[in-house]
Amino acid sequence: MNVTIVDYSSGNISSVINSFKEVAQDKVNIEVTPDLNKIKSSDKVVLPGQGSFKSCVDALNNIDGLIDTLNEFAMSKKKPLLGICVGLQMFADIGYEETETKGLGWISGKVSKIDNQNGKYKLPHIGWNQINIVKDSKIFRNIENNSHMYFVHSYEFIPKDKNVISATTDYSSNIVCSVEKENIFGTQFHPEKSDKIGLKIINNFISL
Amino acid sequence: MLKNRIIPCLDVKNGRVVKGINFVDLKDAGDPVEQAKIYSDGGADEICFLDITASNENRDIIYDVVEKTSKRCFVPLTVGGGIRSVEDINKLLNCGADKVSINTAAVENSKVVMDSSKKFGSQCIVVAIDAKKNGDKWEVFTHGGRNNSGIDALEYAKQMEENGAGELLVTSMDRDGTQVGYDIDLMSKISSKVNIPVIASGGVGNLDHLVDGIKLGNASAVLAASIFHYGKHSLKEAKEYLDSKGIPVRI
């Protein structure tokens, strides 16, 4: 099996690479590439993302044919794809970080700044927070409710259809932190930095 | 609920831990990779390396250390010390650091903070502020505490937030190494001045100091070095103690 981590110059993805390689060992081949043919032929795709919504969308657009290839992979072929952090946020129709930017539109909704209640809550939301699992998600197999995950973000994904939400976390409000829609998975938190429990989520995705 | 973080810090010089955990079962007590692994297995919420290598020819050793550590520890890794440029940051992130902490370069050239936060995202840019009390204010020091910039630490903290820092690592130079506790006044003043998380550092001698840093200093995270070295306290003990004092921690 081949799992491709899309390397589209979206900032630092070393931790993502290291964690997937740790989990995969020799069982699964992990590719790190922006190569369209390799993405097309892989069984699963991981879409990381750091920095702003706009910078990540711009970086995707900078690689000719990448968005079309991802659309085909996730929407037409319906193969499993995991978005992490801004990778998840880009599933939305639109994001408001820096400036209004069109997203991939895979899961209808928007990405807005977390309401910090006039400075009562610090932003970014950095650190370990517990997840409330609200629906069975394949990537949460053997993950206990209220497990701690590592977060670092200032924007949140607000999907229109609440049925896609698989987990939330409590901060200044109830924040969507995981989604599942058919073959599309996303986590706002960083499984690659969430210790053993995070590696378990990665293993669940790889084992789908 | 978001948990307060405990971050053990290791001083690394020429690729070796200067003051470290003195565990008998350690294969190599001076190996930062081994020590980081012990901390992450012990429940560290993040790991911090401070590279205090003085000579330029040994500077590159830290990249190798970071690379090896990030392949074995799956909690966030922050690396500071000697970072001069956006290119230095790029190299550390590529080796597997999740965040970098910038001290002297941020004072001398605030463009480094602006450019790097824009390029890599604020989430990985920590500005380290070494502050020393002078009268009724605190001044920012650079070059490992040797040079006084004369800049007001509170104003500087606000400016760094505006420049794109994602977090501030605030060290009281008056308290560092004294083990009498954090400078609570400094921590709480900076924390109320900015809307980004503050990591308290400098002066921890016992577990109550960690409690004070969070409860009185309003720090989001507490960094400590010596109390975790030589096995004086384990991270587990620290977390259980904080928990018993009503502080939310990841256990």
| Within-domain flag for B251 | no
pLDDT value at position B59? Answer: 81
Total number of domains constituting chain A: 1
The shortest C-alpha distance from B178 to chain A (Å) reads 28
| Within-domain flag for B127 | yes
Residue A149 belongs to what domain range? 2-206
Q: Which of B71, B94, B123 sits opposite A124 (nearest CB)?
A: B123
Main-chain phi, psi angles of B47, to 5 degrees: -125, 140
Q: Which of B4, B5, B98 sits opposite A15 (nearest CB)?
A: B98
Q: Is the pLDDT of residue B139 over 80?
A: yes
Contact of A192 with chain B, judged by CB distance below 8 Å, is answered with: yes
* Distance in angstroms (rounded) separating the CA atoms of residues A134 and A145: 9
ipTM: 0.94
pLDDT value at position B230? Answer: 72
Pull the structure tokens for residue A136: 């069975």
Q: Is the pLDDT of residue B54 over 90?
A: no
* Distance in angstroms (rounded) separating the CA atoms of residues B101 and B110: 13
pTM of the model: 0.96
B74/A194 Cβ within 8 A: yes
pLDDT value at position B26? Answer: 56
pLDDT value at position A12? Answer: 81
Q: Which residue of B has its CA nearest to A117?
A: B195
| Within-domain flag for B250 | no
pLDDT value at position A55? Answer: 92
Total number of domains constituting chain B: 1
Q: Is the pLDDT of residue B55 over 90?
A: no
A22/B74 Cβ within 8 A: yes
A51/B74 Cβ within 8 A: no
- Judging contacts by C-beta atoms under 8 Å, the chain A residues touching residue B217 are none
Q: Which of B71, B166, B221 sits opposite A124 (nearest CB)?
A: B166
pLDDT value at position B23? Answer: 52
Q: How confident is the model at residue B211 (pLDDT cuts 50, 70, 90)?
A: very high
pLDDT value at position A9? Answer: 86
pLDDT value at position B7? Answer: 98
Which tens digits make up the pLDDT trace of A1-32?
Answer: 999 999 998 778 999 999 999 999 989 999 99
pLDDT value at position B19? Answer: 67
Q: Is the pLDDT of residue B128 over 60?
A: yes
Which tens digits make up the pLDDT trace of A178-204?
Answer: 999 999 999 999 999 999 999 999 999
Residue B237 belongs to what domain range? 5-244
Return the bridge partners of A128, or none. Answer: A150
| Within-domain flag for B188 | yes
Within 8 A by CB and 6+ apart from B24, the residues are: none
Question: Read out DSSP for A46-66?
Answer: EE---S-HHHHHHHHHTSTTH
A11/B120 Cβ within 8 A: yes
Which tens digits make up the pLDDT trace of A45-88?
Answer: 999 998 899 999 999 999 999 999 999 999 999 999 999 999 99
Mean pLDDT for all residues in chain B = 93
Contact of A22 with chain B, judged by CB distance below 8 Å, is answered with: yes
Catalytic annotation, residues of A:
85, 190, 192
- Sign of the C-alpha dihedral, residues B34, B38, B40, B45? negative
Q: Is the pLDDT of residue B27 over 70?
A: no
Contact of A198 with chain B, judged by CB distance below 8 Å, is answered with: yes
- Judging contacts by C-beta atoms under 8 Å, the chain A residues touching residue B220 are 122, 126-127
| Within-domain flag for B249 | no
Q: Which of B5, B93, B119 sits opposite A14 (nearest CB)?
A: B93
Which H helix or E strand runs over A128?
Answer: strand A125-130
CATH number at residue A126: 3.40.50.880
Single out the catalytic residue among B88, B130, B183, B212.
Answer: B130
Which tens digits make up the pLDDT trace of A100-132?
Answer: 999 999 999 999 999 999 989 999 999 999 999
Which tens digits make up the pLDDT trace of B59-90?
Answer: 889 999 999 999 999 999 999 999 999 999 99
A126/B123 Cβ within 8 A: yes
Give Cα B94 to chain centroid, integer Å. 20
pLDDT value at position A43? Answer: 98
Q: Is the pLDDT of residue B21 over 90?
A: no
DSSP B205: -
Angle CA A19–A22–A28, to nearest 5 = 105
Share of chain B above pLDDT 70, in %: 96
pLDDT value at position A154? Answer: 95
Contact of B42 with chain A, judged by CB distance below 8 Å, is answered with: no
Contact of A11 with chain B, judged by CB distance below 8 Å, is answered with: yes
Q: Is the pLDDT of residue B24 over 70?
A: no
A127/B2 Cβ within 8 A: yes
The shortest C-alpha distance from A196 to chain B (Å) reads 7
Contact B133, B175 (CB under 8 A): no
Q: Is the pLDDT of residue A145 over 80?
A: yes
Return the bridge partners of B151, or none. Answer: none
Distances (CA, A) of B17 to A37, A72, B170: 45, 49, 22
- Judging contacts by C-beta atoms under 8 Å, the chain A residues touching residue B221 are 127
Contact of B248 with chain A, judged by CB distance below 8 Å, is answered with: no
Does residue A124 have a cis bond before it (omega within 30 degrees)?
Answer: yes
Q: Which of B4, B93, B220 sits opposite A12 (nearest CB)?
A: B93
pLDDT value at position A143? Answer: 98
End-to-end CA distance of chain A: 11
pLDDT value at position B53? Answer: 84
pLDDT value at position B18? Answer: 83
